[in-house]
Amino acid sequence: MVAVAKSDFQTPSHRTGVQVNISAVSHQFELEGAPLPVLDQVSFSVEPGQFVALLGPSGCGKSTLLRLLAGLDHPTSGSLRVDGEEIGDPGPSRILVFQDPTLFPWRTVWDNVALGLEAQGIIKTSGGRVDAVLRLVGLDGFAKAHPHQLSGGMAQRVALARALVNDPRLLLLDEPLGKLDSLTRLTMQAELVALWQKAQMTAILVTHDVEEALFLTQRVLVFGPRPARIVADIPVDLPYPRHRGDPKLGELRRVALQHLGLAANW
Amino acid sequence: MTAIEANDTAFSAARGTSAQSARKPGRFWRTGAIAAVLWVGSAAVIEFWPEIIPAPYGRELAILSVLVAALLVLVLTTGSLLGKTAVWIRYYGPWFAVAAVGLGIWEVVTAKLAVLPVPFFSSPQGILEVYIDDWARLSESVLHSVLLLAKGYFFGAVVGFTTGVTIGWSRAAGYWVHPILRLIGPLPATAWLPLSFFIFPSSGSASVFLIALATAFPVTILTWSGIASVNRDYYDIARTLGASRWFLIFKVAIPAALPHVFVGLFMGLGTSFAVLVVAEMLGVKAGLGWYLQWAQGWAAYANMYAALIVMALMCSSLITILFRIRDRVLSWQKGLVRW
């Protein structure tokens, strides 16, 4: 981790990720007048710099939790704290990467990545970071391309670059590889780990892919069906880089599937 | 890289339709040859067939036809000497041929056989006569029309765009403006003619107001619908990146809504033409509308036709200019939308 930190992508040495404390968070939507509970008394903490996966069936409320962490929505009850402070409005220290890259089609790749710096009014002083982060995701040759000219994997890399250029201390990943073809997906899983190691931030990944959760993260929180509550907390105590054929991963996979109620399929 | 290349070829193919239908230089351009012969033919008809209704400038019209034929021969023999113009002429080769036939028939049924009665129909040289003898008054009319239209269209587009953005963004503004739009919008702008001539100090400013009104309605509606249909995720993305309210409006909502805005601008331009003519006929004593009115009053139908042709050319040129602006502003859409 120390070795990769010395890259051209500036990483202030004092900076680490944030600590996240979620306690007794419940949330519900109004659906045709009736309340629809999506989160039920969810509590957990994430240590600074940790990479955590939230694993669970589709539509169980994991993505809602990420929106709460980003500050885009506020919980019905309970508290979410980052480094001890209650989460308020959205801000560039906590960035959400969606399943769809959602690039702005009228902006070039460079301008898309520069969006955050522009919004914060620091583009003139730190425009160089855009080039650095584009190099980091391997797209420095595509700065002038428009989003429609990119493949799905490239577009998602741009979306990652758009997040990373702001030097976030908490990266929220909402199934960022969910729509990619399986080969691109495998490549980008390895890239994600490398980016997280380089940037030394706290990262929370929402996924419904058991292998992805185990291969990427240090800890997997398994959610039950809606309204979501945590049914298991599985530490993945394996060093990086990991190997997909590792028998320990296979064992953890069995445990995770069991908690998801899919043990019979194994 | 492959994605980029594939797209590049896709849109150069879409853009290259005119280049494809133009023959390769070097191959004999048969359509061009036929068109040239037809233009010489109509020149011969004009020059040698005696006229029943004598009119000046028959010789000049014949010379013009021969010049068109000469231009076609030039393109035919030199291929790409004229550059883009040659490509354009080759693309419209069949139209050149049809136009020559049309001119010949028109000449025969008016000047040569007088099948079409005189005051109501004009021979081609009758219209040429208007352009040669009355060009000063005609071009002054065009100038007045363009100036009036530009003023009205500019104010209408600005007001419409601003209103559209405001009601698309602010719920409170929408609450007050929607009912007004719904009531007043569908009325033809010309219905306000008497009132606006009373309220405004001069017929000129009243006409500007009417044209602006006609332009503003479609621009407002389309801008509003554009702002309303912006992907919500764009806002979420921008907000997590630290965007302020102004950033969300000017850097997210407006650029995303621009394709709709341009549809509104095109519609507004169309309606503004109609109002322009009415305003000039009834209020302002200048411009093409006034010229049309004047020509009708004197039963100078050749002048009227000549002015109508000029008006058609003016409108289509203005639309072309707006297309060019759109192409430039929305160039990012090229790979996404078939134009």
Q: Is the peptide bond before A227 cis (omega within 30 degrees of 0)?
A: yes
Q: What are phi and psi of B134, to 5 degrees?
A: -120, 20
- Which class for B125: exposed (0-12), middle (13-18), buried (19 or more C-beta within 10 A)? buried
Assess if residue B105 is contained within a domain: yes
In this structure, how many other beta carbons lie within 10 angstroms of the beta carbon of residue B7? 18
- Print the domain residue range for A241: 17-93+169-265
* Separation of alpha carbons B241 and B158, rounded Å: 30
- So what's the pLDDT on residue B193? 84
A34 and A118 share one domain: no
Cβ neighbours for A88, distance < 8 A, ≥ 6 positions apart:
A71
Q: Provide the residue count of chain A.
A: 266
> Chain B residue closest to A141 (CA)?
B1
Contact A96 B236 (CB under 8 A): yes
CATH code of the domain in which B172 resides: 1.10.3720.10
B149 and B295 share one domain: yes
- So what's the pLDDT on residue A1? 37
Q: How far is CA A98 from CA A232, B174, B233, B240, in A?
A: 25, 31, 9, 11
Assess if residue B324 is contained within a domain: yes
- Which class for A203: exposed (0-12), middle (13-18), buried (19 or more C-beta within 10 A)? buried
- So what's the pLDDT on residue B28? 82
Say if residues A167 and A124 touch (Cβ distance below 8 Å).
no
- So what's the pLDDT on residue B4? 43
B75 and B168 share one domain: no
| Average pLDDT taken over every residue of chain A | 86
Assess if residue B76 is contained within a domain: yes
A156 and A197 share one domain: no
- Percent of chain A past pLDDT 90, that is, above it, reads 32
A59 and A81 share one domain: yes
pTM over 0.90: no
**Confidence check: pLDDT of A113 > 60:** yes
Contact A95 B240 (CB under 8 A): yes
Say if residues B254 and A106 touch (Cβ distance below 8 Å).
no
A204 and A246 share one domain: yes
- So what's the pLDDT on residue A61? 83
Show which of residues 210-269 on chain B sit within 8 Å of chain A, judged by CB atoms.
231, 233-234, 236-244, 247, 251-252, 255-256, 258
- So what's the pLDDT on residue B3? 43
Taking the CA of residue B339 and the nearest CA in chain A, the distance in Å comes to 16
Question: Per mean pLDDT, which range of A49-53, A97-101, A180-184 is the poorest?
Answer: A180-184
Between A1 and B228, where is the model more confident? B228
Q: How many folded domains does chain A comprise?
A: 2
**Which residues of chain B are under the pLDDT cut of 50?**
1-23
CATH code of the domain in which A58 resides: 3.40.50.300
Assess if residue B130 is contained within a domain: no
* Separation of alpha carbons B206 and B292, rounded Å: 20
- Print the domain residue range for B175: 135-333
Assess if residue B128 is contained within a domain: no
Final residue belonging to a domain, choices B119, B146, B177: B119
B212 and B321 share one domain: yes
A202 and A240 share one domain: yes
A119 and A176 share one domain: no
The single residue listed with the structure tokens 């354009």 is: B88
Assess if residue A209 is contained within a domain: yes
**Is the minimum CB–CB distance between A92 and chain B shorter than 8 Å?**
yes
A114 and A145 share one domain: yes
Tens-place pLDDT, residues A154-199: 999 999 999 999 988 999 999 988 888 888 888 889 888 988 888 8
Q: Nearest CB to A166: which of B241, B252, B255?
A: B241
Q: Nearest CB to B336: which of A104, A105, A116?
A: A105
B108 and B164 share one domain: no
Taking the CA of residue B316 and the nearest CA in chain A, the distance in Å comes to 28
Assess if residue A3 is contained within a domain: no
A80 and A178 share one domain: yes
Taking the CA of residue A42 and the nearest CA in chain B, the distance in Å comes to 23
Taking the CA of residue A74 and the nearest CA in chain B, the distance in Å comes to 14
The token pair at A161 is 């670059």
Assess if residue B125 is contained within a domain: no
Assess if residue A7 is contained within a domain: no
B243 and B307 share one domain: yes
- So what's the pLDDT on residue B6? 42
- So what's the pLDDT on residue A240? 83
Taking the CA of residue B333 and the nearest CA in chain A, the distance in Å comes to 7
B110 and B208 share one domain: no
- So what's the pLDDT on residue A11? 46
Q: Residue A35, SS3?
A: strand
Average pLDDT over residues A243-251: 86
Assess if residue A11 is contained within a domain: no
Beta strands in A59-182 (DSSP E): 77-82, 85-86, 94-97, 170-174
B321 and B183 share one domain: yes
B212 and B245 share one domain: yes
* Separation of alpha carbons B48 and B337, rounded Å: 53
Residues A187, A189, A192, CA angle at the centre, nearest 5°?
Answer: 115
Assess if residue A8 is contained within a domain: no
Q: How many folded domains does chain B comprise?
A: 2
**Confidence check: pLDDT of A12 > 60:** no
B153 and B70 share one domain: no
- So what's the pLDDT on residue A62? 86
**Confidence check: pLDDT of A47 > 60:** yes
Q: For testing the chain A interface, which of B7, B8, B233, B241 should be mutated: the one with the most A CBs within 10 Å? A: B241
Q: Nearest CB to A106: which of B239, B240, B255?
A: B255
**Structure-derived torsion over alpha carbons of residues B19, B23, B24, B27, reported in degrees to the nearest 10:** -170
B141 and B216 share one domain: yes
B292 and B202 share one domain: yes
Q: What are phi and psi of B133, to 5 degrees?
A: -90, -25
Question: Per mean pLDDT, which range of A211-215, A243-247, B53-57 is the poorest?
Answer: B53-57
Q: Residue A135, SS3?
A: helix
Assess if residue B338 is contained within a domain: no
Assess if residue A235 is contained within a domain: yes
In this structure, how many other beta carbons lie within 10 angstroms of the beta carbon of residue A139? 21
A87 and A136 share one domain: no
Tens-place pLDDT, residues B52-99: 877 788 889 999 999 999 999 988 888 767 788 888 888 999 999 999
> Chain B residue closest to A172 (CA)?
B240
Tens-place pLDDT, residues A64-78: 899 999 999 999 999
Q: How far is CA B130 from CA B123, B134, B307, in A?
A: 11, 5, 9
> Chain B residue closest to A72 (CA)?
B236
In this prediction the ipTM stands at 0.86
- So what's the pLDDT on residue B172? 92
